[in-house]
A and B are shown apart, each in its own frame.
Chain A
Amino acid sequence: MKLLKTLMTGAALVVGLGGMAQAEDKTKVGFVYVGPVGDFGWSYEHNEGRKAVEEAFGDKVETMFVESVPEGADSERVMTQMALDGADLIFTTSFGYMDPTINVAKKFPNVKFEHATGYKQADNVSTYSARFYEGRSVIGHIAGHMTKSNTIGYIASFPIPEVIRGINAAYIAAKKVNPDVKLKIVWAYTWFDPAKEADAATALIEQGADIIMQHTDSPAAMTIAEEKGMYAFGQASDMKQFGPTARLSSIIDDWAPYYIARTQAVMDGTWESTSTWDGIKEGMVGIGDFSNDIPADVQASATALKEALISGATHSFTGPVNKQDGSSWLASGETADDGTLAGMNFYVEGIEGEVPN
């Protein structure tokens, strides 16, 4: 028995060493996606980032990815497998992978992990996210101008700070240009389920919304808006092909520069655990072309808002802003600090309904 054990340990060592030797030739980068790479939304853009890494480093890098990985225990297995396969760097690209990433990272201290949109760091776990809320401000501004029924429909996924932040940012910007605007929110409790997203869009339109915003990953809502003659915004990806007339603009995620920089850092041995939160300025958040349906003056003011967000002259959350219960959050001229934004769990004044818990 003991002999067997020794033999097995020896074999494991050899395999392990072999893996290491291989790893030294090429930097292996793994990606875990929550949806299919063909969702033409969130996971699609992450995969574009992966392709950019391959293009940038050519033979020096090897990438692998697993798509449609459920958040939770399954994702831990996928990450573990990637680490065992010799990955040097693993990007886990959904909020729900946060605890699994931390757990797996503990077991593989030599593998670097990068978790998107979360807030838990470790020595070998960085976090990164984009300031999508800046994009929400721009499209909220447009929606406030464009809505005729003064009702904007919002398909939300899960009640996490990132989603709530987006709702608040869009509402504040829309309200600023249209005091009568109302936000109707549907929680789909999924990142990716085209049928459900389509049903949610239909329900919102039936309840009087004439512009749809979404924080889910598929272009289904865009298709419905196109069919019913309403407006919508591309989410994560441009989505123009799904709604040639419905699409007003879009929030586009661009992960490529970050993925390339982090892979480079691993190659150079300069990788450190960091927390990155980039916005329009750094190019991580892009605003898609404006539709011709948007009047010229609105296009101009939306562009001005975008420029102001880039220069820092404006912040998406600038006081005076009250919380939903009427208590003061930001005094006049005050801007929100990143800590509050990162943990945001309340609606601002004027939004109806409660944040689900």
Chain B
Amino acid sequence: MDISIVSLLATLIVAATPILLAATGELIVEKSGVLNLGVEGMMIIGAICGFIAAVNTDSPLIGFIVAALAGAALSLLFAVLTQYLLANQVASGLALTLFGLGLSALLGHGYSGIKPPSSPKMEWFGMAELPVVGPIFFNHDMMVYFSIFLVLVVWLFLKFTRGGLILRAVGENHEAAHALGYKVIRIRILAIMFGGSCAGMGGAYLSLVRVPQWTEGMTAGAGWIALAIVVFASWKPWRLILGAYLFGGVTILQLNLQANGFDMPVSYLSMAPYLVTIVVLVIMSADRRRASLNAPASLGKIFHASS
């Protein structure tokens, strides 16, 4: 079998980055006790807004910034619905996805068949020339490193900062947090907007780097995968990387195996990414008691100061 492990690893990182970005954002949202099922909608809005901005300014960086802002703006809609109007989070999230898909199709009218500016690779002082590790680790665009950096920041924030502690407190028991004087609603809105901007950047990574083009509905379920990975990673930041890379990796691997004529029923191969990711993450969180401790206790519950 002549599948190059090096190029395989290099492509899997690209395939995993959109999901990783979106999942990181959703992790913070869920840690604050809010379940936003609108990831898919925020991703696709990020994909089109980032695309439009990048094409018009010829700068991928501006594209990603606009995508983050657009994702945050859309998530604000969800925040208003669920935090002020106390709407059901599941229904609002689903509505957000539908709204995002429709709005993106409208915005994207006339942007089909355009090539976005290509995202330059990061300069690592010539380390990309190194054999094996060069192409795997040092030959990517900025967003790949940013997504990993973001996981690091989120981990540090949740584990070592006062802000992280407050966020977790709000997610675990919003009444207690409220009694302590924390602004539950405000904290949650900030978390939701962070989640929106991450999802937006994840979407823009699809339209600017991974595919690179704008097509209606191009996220095709990536947002749902991101949501699943948050759960299976049992709300632990580092496991998000594992989950996303595993999913991306097996997806790429199975396509390569197929292209190589690997002798195995194709239906198993195409099932593989979902199966492997679920199995590995389930095994990791096999200790039921500890896993359930990780789920934020107030996840999806509506908070109202008077109740």
Q: Does A185 contact B (CB under 8 A)?
A: yes
Contact B218 A199 (CB under 8 A): no
A-B contact pairs, 22 of them (CB 8 A): A36-B216, A38-B108, A38-B112, A38-B216, A189-B270, A192-B220, A193-B220, A193-B221, A194-B206, A194-B218, A195-B18, A195-B206, A195-B210, A195-B218, A195-B222, A199-B252, A204-B259, A206-B3, A206-B4, A218-B218, A223-B212, A223-B213
Kindly state the separation between the CA atoms of A209 and B259 in the bound complex, as whole angstroms.
9
CB distance from B292 to the nearest CB of A (A): 33
Contact residues, A25-70 vs B (CB, 8 A): 35-40, 68
Contact residues, B206-230 vs A (CB, 8 A): 206, 210-213, 215-222
CB distance from B36 to the nearest CB of A (A): 22
Kindly state the separation between the CA atoms of A203 and B4 in the bound complex, as whole angstroms.
11
User: For chains A and B in complex, what number of residue pairs have CB atoms within 8 angstroms?
Assistant: 120
Q: Does A186 contact B (CB under 8 A)?
A: yes
- Chain B, interface size: which category? 35 or more
Contact residues, A136-179 vs B (CB, 8 A): 153, 159
Q: Does B126 contact A (CB under 8 A)?
A: no
- Return the 10 tightest CB-CB contacts between A and B, nearest first: A241-B113, A36-B216, A38-B216, A356-B266, A203-B255, A193-B220, A207-B259, A194-B218, A186-B258, A36-B217
Q: Does A184 contact B (CB under 8 A)?
A: yes
The residue of chain A having its C-beta at the shortest distance from the C-beta of B4 within the complex is: A206
With A195-B18, A203-B252, A206-B11 known, 4 other A-B pairs at CB within 8 A are A189-B267, A195-B210, A199-B251, A207-B260
Contact B251 A196 (CB under 8 A): yes
- Chain A, interface size: which category? 35 or more
CB distance from B4 to the nearest CB of A (A): 7
A39 neighbours in B (Cβ, 8 Å): 215-217
Contact A206 B217 (CB under 8 A): no
The residue of chain A having its C-beta at the shortest distance from the C-beta of B266 within the complex is: A356
Contact A242 B221 (CB under 8 A): no
Kindly state the separation between the CA atoms of A224 and B222 in the bound complex, as whole angstroms.
19
Q: Does A102 contact B (CB under 8 A)?
A: no
Interface string of B245-289 (1 = CB under 8 A from A): 000000110011011110001110010000000000000000000
Contact residues, A188-234 vs B (CB, 8 A): 188-190, 192-196, 198-200, 202-204, 206-207, 209, 218-220, 223-224, 226-227
The residue of chain A having its C-beta at the shortest distance from the C-beta of B207 within the complex is: A194
Q: Does A95 contact B (CB under 8 A)?
A: no
Q: Does A187 contact B (CB under 8 A)?
A: yes
A220 neighbours in B (Cβ, 8 Å): 211, 213, 215
A39-B215, A184-B259, A203-B255 as given contacts; A194 in contact with B220, CB under 8 Å:
yes
Kindly state the separation between the CA atoms of A207 and B4 in the bound complex, as whole angstroms.
9
- Which of B3, B4, B260 gathers most chain A CB within 10 Å? B260
A40 neighbours in B (Cβ, 8 Å): 112-113, 215
Contact A153 B113 (CB under 8 A): no
Contact A353 B261 (CB under 8 A): yes
Q: Does A352 contact B (CB under 8 A)?
A: yes
The residue of chain A having its C-beta at the shortest distance from the C-beta of B262 within the complex is: A353
Kindly state the separation between the CA atoms of A194 and B108 in the bound complex, as whole angstroms.
15
CB distance from B59 to the nearest CB of A (A): 19
The residue of chain A having its C-beta at the shortest distance from the C-beta of B112 within the complex is: A40
The residue of chain A having its C-beta at the shortest distance from the C-beta of B251 within the complex is: A199
B252 neighbours in A (Cβ, 8 Å): 199, 203
CB distance from A123 to the nearest CB of B (A): 35
Q: Does B7 contact A (CB under 8 A)?
A: yes
Kindly state the separation between the CA atoms of A94 and B33 in the bound complex, as whole angstroms.
41
Contact B256 A207 (CB under 8 A): yes
A202 neighbours in B (Cβ, 8 Å): 11, 255
Contact A219 B213 (CB under 8 A): yes
B265 neighbours in A (Cβ, 8 Å): 354, 356-357
Q: Does B45 contact A (CB under 8 A)?
A: no
Contact A184 B213 (CB under 8 A): no
Q: Does B105 contact A (CB under 8 A)?
A: yes
Q: Does B15 contact A (CB under 8 A)?
A: yes
The residue of chain B having its C-beta at the shortest distance from the C-beta of A206 within the complex is: B7
Contact B210 A198 (CB under 8 A): yes
Contact residues, B40-89 vs A (CB, 8 A): none
Contact A356 B267 (CB under 8 A): yes
Contact B212 A206 (CB under 8 A): no
Contact B216 A153 (CB under 8 A): no
Contact A187 B266 (CB under 8 A): yes
Contact B251 A35 (CB under 8 A): no
A36-B105, A185-B258, A199-B15 as given contacts; A68 in contact with B4, CB under 8 Å:
no
Contact A153 B259 (CB under 8 A): yes
Kindly state the separation between the CA atoms of A36 and B15 in the bound complex, as whole angstroms.
23
Contact A223 B211 (CB under 8 A): yes
Contact B256 A203 (CB under 8 A): yes
